[in-house]
Chain A
Amino acid sequence: MTESPIASQSPLLQMQGIEKSFPGVRALRGVDLTLRSGEVLALLGENGAGKSTLIKMLGGAHQPDQGTIRISGQPVNLSSPIAAISAGIGVIYQEFNLVPRLSAWENIFFGRERSSGFVNRNMERRRSKELFDQIGVPVPIDTPCGELSIAQQQLVEIAKALSQDARLIVMDEPSAAITPQEVERLFHIIRDLRSRGIGVIYISHRLDEIFTIADRVVVLRDGQLAGEGETRSLTRQQLIEWMVGREIQNEFPKARHTRDRIRLSVRNLNRGNIVRDVSFDIRAGEVLGMTGLIGAGRTETARLIFGADRHDSGQISLDGHSLHIRSPRDAIRNGICLLTEDRKGQGLVLTSSVRENFGLPNLKNLSRFGLVNQTKERSAFSTYVDQLQIKIPNQDQLARNLSGGNQQKVVLAKWLERNAEVLIFDEPTRGIDVGAKYEIYLLINELAKQGKAILMISSELPEVIGMSDRILVMHEGRITGEIEEATTATQEQIMEMAVA
């Protein structure tokens, strides 16, 4: 890539004195940010720190109230997403901008179809294939995106940004939904981009990744710059302190409890070739970690136990009694809860208030003659608001207005009120900041102490190793490995089982 003399002198991106307010919130207060060509900059901060607002500005979705944005020294007005794309900025949001009904290749070229209104089908398909080859993962380019897994959809987003020949690519938690193996591939791509002079802003909650990939780190807190520095001169501890504004001693506060009788027992669970012959037990007070690559059948297994999908064959029993679960309603009635991986799509009714969301599975206990006892509901919920430190102005707040961590706590509250015996957590800390993560870990400990059986599905290996008693690894619908004592496990050992 050739660069003009001016471009090489001035930084690729220069944001100065950026201010942005929303009604009731000052999201950004005078933020400066600089990115050079061929540099990978990690942007860190808890939820609500202002990262999203900042990158939405780069994507043209928000405009700053004050401050200037320069690309290669030239002031730019990113008044719309199109303006951002033509300024050479590609933003990959955490929530995908894909049309679910269109195939991967159609999405990649969506809105940029060439040649006078006609779709150049062959060219676009060929180019899409090349892009996926570059990423190193074969994605079925003709399948509608809505039918692809979360990981695959994200790859389509990445391919789309790559196809736009952006000089600056912003990735908002690109690793949140993909497996360690796929993260490695992503890093490969990022290093490749860097060597071609492209600047990358990388957002992640996973500190390990930051140290692997980023050249420099910028930390935001409460809309201001909390810290900045070259990655090699920084420590993990330092970053966490910048993010939360205080010290955190232990990332995984695992407590061990006596594991006694078997509570949940799953035998020979099958569904097509997605889940094959899965059997395991969970004892009272045990946290069973379950991991594997995306598509290994972990979430699908959870959904079968919860009755969200029907199993072809297999037995599920709780405390020695065989259960016939035909729907989530049955599972909930029998004391099984599922905290879904897709919080917004499956966990919450975003258009309803947080209190209504909390009440939804608990209305039987909170109502009489079909009439909801709102006083009882309010007081029940306020217990959890205090206990889980859910930050909401009032209980009538709509669920969609909450940050990810607080949303997850509302989902947790609704299941805790059910007082279920078996809790299935599917990616409980995905997209959640360090502080909230820690609180969720403490809660998992507490539940185990109460003698509940806990199944924790996670792609984050340090989390699985750090928080589980025992670990199961799945691959292509089967359980391919078990580690009896989680403390002895290593990431390499798990990965071997996951790809076996």
Chain B
Amino acid sequence: MNNAITRFLGTSPLVRDYGMSFVLLLLVGLFSALTLKQQHPTGADAGRQVADLILVRHTKPRVLVITRNTPEDVEFSNAAIKRLEEKGARVLATVRGAAPDAKQSIEEVLKSGESIDAIAANDVTAKWTVYDRFPEVGAGKCVVPASYTWPDFLKVSNLLGVANQTAIYAIIAIGMTMVIITAGIDLSVGSLVALASVCVSILLRDCFGGISAGVAAVIIASTTSVLVCALAGAFNGFMITAFRIPPFIVTLGMMMMASGLSFKLSMGQSIPELPSSFFWLGRGHIFGIPNPILLMLALYMIAHIVMSRMVLGRYIYSIGGNEEAARLSGVPVTRVQLAVYTICGALAGLGGIVLTSQLSAGDPKFGLMYELEVIAAVVVGGTSLMGGQGKIFGTLIGAFIIAVIKNGMNLTDVDPFNQKIVLGAVLMIAVLLDTLRRKKGHR
């Protein structure tokens, strides 16, 4: 039995190279099936759709537009009114609120002697019972956008949300992948996220005037904070290469030091005095895609090229595979290790900047336990903790496997305690698969 599994895992190139993407697809399919639901469209498109439906049924209709007062409903209402008025309909009244507001509004319209041809409503407001209180109106006059069946999970907003939240972990995981491929580990990334967050917000608040700081100031403060984290990473690398202290210990020390420093600098307080231009990175969009996702994708492309096409990547793999053989082949082992820990620190710092921008405040409590999340993503992505083996895009897939499981469990109302248990099991299974595969390779 065991033999059959290992043989399957070891010999099929499909499973070896794409196993994890296959798992990701499987999870997407699973959660899509579990969250399949009747969807009611909202927003501007739905508003126009309802207006068109009314215009088909009536010529020059007199219409009430009834929605709640949420941003999506307001968009719906505005679009419907605009379309109706363009096509010669009369909008008698617009309601943005609750059922009593609707009742009052209908009363006023009827009092003024107007008759109502149709009510532009959505799935929520159409269910209100107020309409049947007026014999002249009735719920039958409500027109709602057509509903359709689609998984909650696969809604664009949900997918972008998942990607947006994963982006930070995924960015930090690039550096972690490189470190782990050299057979090292970096536990300090979580604390460096906090350090970068505190660093950038204090610089902006105390040196550049807080809320009134300009774009140049934002760039300078962010770059400086990333450099501070890069320096911390370089220090990790120095201690590891110069004194041969195990990476686990060095970075554990840095984890504590960086965290302590963050709390000291911020005096344990959150720092919200940030200029609006700072929020572009974490909350802006380009072509409707959140900037953190774009940043993540760009970094993954670069990292992929570095690891698969560049001399540095070759050196990183060779050091993890066999440090002594690498050294005897002329690889500058010390320099490469320094570079890798520096890159890892810098990317953790960048992650901290993005997080601060997303959450609109600097905070020394950011990044707590991120190192474990990130290591989990790397390992689930198929990178061996023994070093020498792993792929950058594997890590991206690993990060998304974890994110999709979390999101899927939230959507299906799995209780948070059970979620942790599941995630732990996923991590173990990933390592188990890796071990079985390796066993086979070692014939």
- Chain A positions 316-369 with a Cβ under 8 Å from a chain B Cβ: 327-329, 332-333, 338, 340, 345-352, 356, 359-361, 363-364, 367
Chain A residues with CB under 8 Å of B10's CB are 23
Q: How many whole Å from B342's CB to the nearest CB in chain A?
A: 16
Q: How many whole Å from B337's CB to the nearest CB in chain A?
A: 14
> When the two chains form their complex, are residues A347 and B314 in contact, meaning their CB atoms are under 8 A apart?
no
Residue B244 is within 8 A (CB to CB) of chain A in the complex: no
- Chain B positions 296-323 with a Cβ under 8 Å from a chain A Cβ: 305, 309-312, 314-315, 317-318, 320-322
> When the two chains form their complex, are residues A370 and B310 in contact, meaning their CB atoms are under 8 A apart?
yes
* A372-B310 contact in complex given A22-B443, A356-B317, A398-B441, C-beta closer than 8 Å: yes
Q: How many whole Å from A337's CB to the nearest CB in chain B?
A: 9
> When the two chains form their complex, are residues A340 and B328 in contact, meaning their CB atoms are under 8 A apart?
yes
> When the two chains form their complex, are residues A372 and B325 in contact, meaning their CB atoms are under 8 A apart?
no
Residue B331 is within 8 A (CB to CB) of chain A in the complex: yes
Chain A residues with CB under 8 Å of B418's CB are none
Chain B residues with CB under 8 Å of A340's CB are 328
- In the complex formed, the residue of B with least CB distance to A339 is B328
- Name the interface size band of chain A: 20 to 34
Q: How many whole Å from A263's CB to the nearest CB in chain B?
A: 20
- In the complex formed, the residue of B with least CB distance to A415 is B329
- In the complex formed, the residue of A with least CB distance to B388 is A351
Residue A371 is within 8 A (CB to CB) of chain B in the complex: yes
What separation, in Å, do the CA atoms of A367 and B315 have in the docked complex?
Answer: 13
Residue A400 is within 8 A (CB to CB) of chain B in the complex: yes
Interface size on B, residues (CB 8 A): 30
> When the two chains form their complex, are residues B318 and A356 in contact, meaning their CB atoms are under 8 A apart?
yes
> When the two chains form their complex, are residues A345 and B322 in contact, meaning their CB atoms are under 8 A apart?
yes
Chain A residues with CB under 8 Å of B317's CB are 349, 351-352, 356
> When the two chains form their complex, are residues A360 and B330 in contact, meaning their CB atoms are under 8 A apart?
yes
Which of A328, A332, A398 gathers most chain B CB within 10 Å? A328
Partner of A352 from the list B321, B332, B441, B442 (CB cut-off 8 Å) is B321
Residue A425 is within 8 A (CB to CB) of chain B in the complex: no
Q: How many whole Å from A67's CB to the nearest CB in chain B?
A: 18
Chain B residues with CB under 8 Å of A7's CB are none
Partner of A329 from the list B311, B322, B330, B443 (CB cut-off 8 Å) is B330
Partner of B11 from the list A23, A329, A332, A372 (CB cut-off 8 Å) is A23
- Chain B positions 410-443 with a Cβ under 8 Å from a chain A Cβ: 441-443
Chain B residues with CB under 8 Å of A416's CB are none
Residue B389 is within 8 A (CB to CB) of chain A in the complex: yes
> When the two chains form their complex, are residues B330 and A332 in contact, meaning their CB atoms are under 8 A apart?
yes
Residue B132 is within 8 A (CB to CB) of chain A in the complex: no
Residue B406 is within 8 A (CB to CB) of chain A in the complex: no
Q: How many whole Å from B440's CB to the nearest CB in chain A?
A: 9
Residue A374 is within 8 A (CB to CB) of chain B in the complex: yes
Residue A83 is within 8 A (CB to CB) of chain B in the complex: no
Residue A189 is within 8 A (CB to CB) of chain B in the complex: no
Q: How many whole Å from A416's CB to the nearest CB in chain B?
A: 14
Chain A residues with CB under 8 Å of B441's CB are 398, 400
Residue B40 is within 8 A (CB to CB) of chain A in the complex: no
What separation, in Å, do the CA atoms of A359 and B313 have in the docked complex?
Answer: 12
What separation, in Å, do the CA atoms of A349 and B325 have in the docked complex?
Answer: 6
Partner of A308 from the list B314, B328, B442 (CB cut-off 8 Å) is B328
Partner of B318 from the list A360, A364, A372 (CB cut-off 8 Å) is A360
Q: How many whole Å from B157's CB to the nearest CB in chain A?
A: 39
What separation, in Å, do the CA atoms of A356 and B321 have in the docked complex?
Answer: 12
Which of A327, A340, A349, A364 gathers most chain B CB within 10 Å? A349
Q: How many whole Å from B338's CB to the nearest CB in chain A?
A: 15
What separation, in Å, do the CA atoms of A263 and B442 have in the docked complex?
Answer: 43
> When the two chains form their complex, are residues B328 and A338 in contact, meaning their CB atoms are under 8 A apart?
yes
* A333-B314 contact in complex given A349-B321, A350-B321, A352-B321, C-beta closer than 8 Å: no
> When the two chains form their complex, are residues B325 and A333 in contact, meaning their CB atoms are under 8 A apart?
no
What separation, in Å, do the CA atoms of A297 and B326 have in the docked complex?
Answer: 23
Residue A414 is within 8 A (CB to CB) of chain B in the complex: yes
> When the two chains form their complex, are residues B325 and A346 in contact, meaning their CB atoms are under 8 A apart?
yes
Which of B326, B329, B442 gathers most chain A CB within 10 Å? B329
Chain A residues with CB under 8 Å of B285's CB are none
Q: How many whole Å from B181's CB to the nearest CB in chain A?
A: 10
Residue B324 is within 8 A (CB to CB) of chain A in the complex: yes
* A371-B309 contact in complex given A349-B318, A359-B314, C-beta closer than 8 Å: yes
Which of B11, B322, B331, B332 gathers most chain A CB within 10 Å? B322
Residue B155 is within 8 A (CB to CB) of chain A in the complex: no
What separation, in Å, do the CA atoms of A329 and B334 have in the docked complex?
Answer: 12
Chain A residues with CB under 8 Å of B312's CB are 370
What separation, in Å, do the CA atoms of A306 and B328 have in the docked complex?
Answer: 9
> When the two chains form their complex, are residues B7 and A23 in contact, meaning their CB atoms are under 8 A apart?
yes
What separation, in Å, do the CA atoms of A146 and B117 have in the docked complex?
Answer: 92
Chain A residues with CB under 8 Å of B326's CB are 349, 360
Which of A338, A348, A350, A363 gathers most chain B CB within 10 Å? A363
Q: How many whole Å from B4's CB to the nearest CB in chain A?
A: 12
What separation, in Å, do the CA atoms of A338 and B330 have in the docked complex?
Answer: 11
> When the two chains form their complex, are residues A361 and B309 in contact, meaning their CB atoms are under 8 A apart?
no
Q: How many whole Å from A440's CB to the nearest CB in chain B?
A: 19
Residue B327 is within 8 A (CB to CB) of chain A in the complex: yes
CB<8 Å pairs between A and B, sample of 21: A23-B10, A306-B328, A308-B327, A308-B328, A327-B327, A328-B329, A329-B330, A345-B322, A346-B324, A347-B325, A348-B322, A348-B325, A349-B318, A356-B314, A360-B326, A360-B329, A360-B331, A370-B311, A372-B310, A372-B311, A398-B441
Q: What 9 A-B pairs are tightest by C-beta distance, nearest first? A: A349-B321, A351-B388, A351-B321, A332-B330, A360-B329, A349-B322, A329-B330, A361-B329, A361-B330
